[in-house]
Amino acid sequence: MMRDDRAGGGDQGGLGGVRVQPGLPEALRPQAARLYWQAFGGKLGGVFGPEARALRYLEFTLRADHAISAISSDGRQLYGIAGFKSPAGSFAGGSLTDMQGAYGVMGATWRAWVLARLSREVDNGRFLIDGICVAPEARCHGIGTALIDALCQEGHRRGYAEIRLEVVDTNWRARKLYERCGFRELKTETIGLLRLIFGFAAATTMVRPLPLR
């Protein structure tokens, strides 16, 4: 699934202590689902809504082993989360069986068809980011930059030479962050009539070399 990665940059100090770590603690899974929906619900609401059902689906399907979390020092607050893809799967999306369980056979069928039209490309040569979300109260504190750095470290650890993400044409703030973090535009593609469902007209693929600076 194409991901528009919403993040922020700045000074982390004002949050009173943040740790960035691999995985997603089970107790923070509801926060992760809500944070993901806050970031991407405007784009995905036409497919995964209504909100209550989408939150249940996300809470069940988000993969902790494909996530990096920014957490308060006491472990109670999720300030941000970043997902990635691997040959074993992706942070967000779930399987067709998962979708059938949440939306029924017919509901899952048309949703899967629409999502397949949105993104069909497979890139085996780059480490793929599968969403970056930062809580509104944590923006402008460097959380987005810290998550990107952690993703770059993970990609380098896995042996990739480049890291890749997609950002939609309506999310200029995230694009500015990615440019500051060393990403460059590779290509921009329009989505045709799917813009009526997803609320954006084009997505830009951006890449940056690894290892980290």
Mean pLDDT, the chain, whole residue set: 87
- Cα 150 to Cα 52, 61, 120, 146, 181: the distances in Å are 31, 22, 26, 6, 12
For 2-49, the pLDDT digits (tens) are 444 555 544 455 677 899 999 999 999 999 999 999 988 888 878 888
Q: How far apart are CA 89 and CA 109, in angstroms?
A: 20
Q: What domains sit in the chain, N to C, each tagged with a CATH number?
A: 12-160 (3.40.630.30)
Question: Residue 122: pLDDT above 80?
Answer: no
For 137-178, the pLDDT digits (tens) are 998 899 999 999 999 999 999 999 999 999 999 888 899 999
pTM, entire model: 0.87
